Amino acid sequence: MTLGSPDFWRRRRVLVTGGAGFLGSNLCHALAGLGARVTALDAMLPDGGANPANLEGAGVMLVRGDLRETELHSLCQGVEVLFNMAAQTSHMGGQRDPVADLAINAVAQVRLVQVMREVAPKAVVVHASTRQFYGRPLSLPVDEFHPVNPPDANGVSKWAGEQYWMLENRVLGRPVVSLRLTNCYGPRLRIADARQTFLGIWIRRVLEDAPFEVWGGSQLRDLAYVDDVTRAFLLAAEQADRPEVAGRVFNLGGAPPLSLLELAHLLIAANGGRGRFETREFPPDRAPIDIGSYHADDRAFRAATGWAPMVPLEEGLRRSLAWYRERLADYAF
């Protein structure tokens, strides 16, 4: 199944920041398959989801460079669509080093904003944002009118980065769309540890026949399979000239909400019944920034674009396990 419209993407010049990471690399594969001319920019930061294996076979050009310092003019020249996926994504990392977190997620974003103004003023921008800065939800599901209450430094920097891009729309009329993502999963997610999401290390442990840990267990999540997320980004770009889409921030959810305990059982079922887990109290250093339960009200994006998630959770988990089973050496280092 193609995830986007080949007529729209054929020969289109696309820049994907964070293109060697989880979501960026999946986008790169889809875009190249649709005939786009794709450049991936990535600093290959060791603590994030960057992995050279992520772009294997994609047929895109990878530029190793850091948004904080790389010369960006030549990279951005002539770009028609920017998928802006690069970020410092670790919540604990942001707490430990808020200056570095802010430098990547906000200051470097302003640097990119300014260069794009100079050399690609008409390009469409689809920005990867996050549900994180809503904080602990006041009520569920969470729509776009929920107050912004970042629970950690990473939430503050991601909010700032998003807002700098939205200003480009409000002040200069650039077609910008921001997608506030829920927890995403699937092939090319970092599974070496829990830095990207708890589900990464769960997948690794299950495949290595080792127990994984469930912290708490009653928290609700609405996981989004990566192909559905990729399709949402492509649709947002394809429709960014429509007033219903341009200049808007949208929540993006996924599967119907379920508790982490239910998810743990589903993962084991998807592995043919093999796997085991232990439940633990939330670690004291993480508890203060935990947001509890979350699931998105993403009806606005569905209504504006016609998007709906298509991969059921059970199927997404099966596909993920099968994909990593073949590639454990590249991902479980």
Ligand X SMILES: NC(=O)c1ccc[n+]([C@@H]2O[C@H](COP(=O)([O-])OP(=O)(O)OC[C@H]3O[C@@H](n4cnc5c(N)ncnc54)[C@H](O)[C@@H]3O)[C@@H](O)[C@H]2O)c1
Instruction: Give least dist CB 228 to ligand X, A.
Output: 12
Q: Does 49 bind ligand X (CB under 6 A)?
A: yes
How far is it, in rounded angstroms, from Cα 81 to Cα 299?
25
How far is it, in rounded angstroms, from Cα 23 to Cα 21?
6
Instruction: Give least dist CB 140 to ligand X, A.
Output: 17
Q: Does 234 bind ligand X (CB under 6 A)?
A: no
Candidates 135-143, 179-187, 270-278, 320-328 — which segment interacts with ligand X by CB under 6 A?
179-187
Give residues 191-230 in contact with ligand X (rule: CB under 6 A): 196-197
Q: Which of 53, 70, 175 is nearest to 126 (CA)?
A: 175
Q: Do the beta carbons of residue 50 and residue 74 sit within 8 Å?
A: no
Q: Does 181 bind ligand X (CB under 6 A)?
A: yes
Residue from 3, 4, 14, 18 touching ligand X (CB under 6 A): that is 18
Question: Which residue type sits at 302?
Answer: R
Q: Do the beta carbons of residue 236 and residue 126 sit within 8 Å?
A: yes
* Angle at the Cα of 323 from the Cα atoms of 199 and 65, rounded to 5 degrees: 75
Instruction: Give least dist CB 195 to ligand X, A.
Output: 8
How far is it, in rounded angstroms, from Cα 267 to Cα 40?
32
Binding track over 121-150 against ligand X, x by CB under 6 A: -------x-x--------------------
The phi and psi torsions of 301 (rounded to 5 degrees) equal -70, -40
How far is it, in rounded angstroms, from Cα 276 to Cα 210?
7
Candidates 20-28, 165-173, 261-269, 270-278 — which segment interacts with ligand X by CB under 6 A?
20-28
Residue count (the chain)? 333
Instruction: Give least dist CB 90 to ligand X, A.
Output: 8
Q: Is the peptide bond before 52 cis (omega within 30 degrees of 0)?
A: no
Instruction: Give least dist CB 211 to ligand X, A.
Output: 23
Binding track over 60-99 against ligand X, x by CB under 6 A: ------xxx----------------xxxxx----------
Candidates 5-13, 21-29, 213-221, 287-295 — which segment interacts with ligand X by CB under 6 A?
21-29
Q: Does 40 bind ligand X (CB under 6 A)?
A: no
The phi and psi torsions of 186 (rounded to 5 degrees) equal 135, -175
Q: What is the CA radius of gyration of the chain?
A: 19
Binding site for ligand X (CB under 6 A): 17-18, 20-24, 41-45, 48-50, 66-68, 85-89, 104, 108, 128, 130, 158, 181, 183-184, 196-197
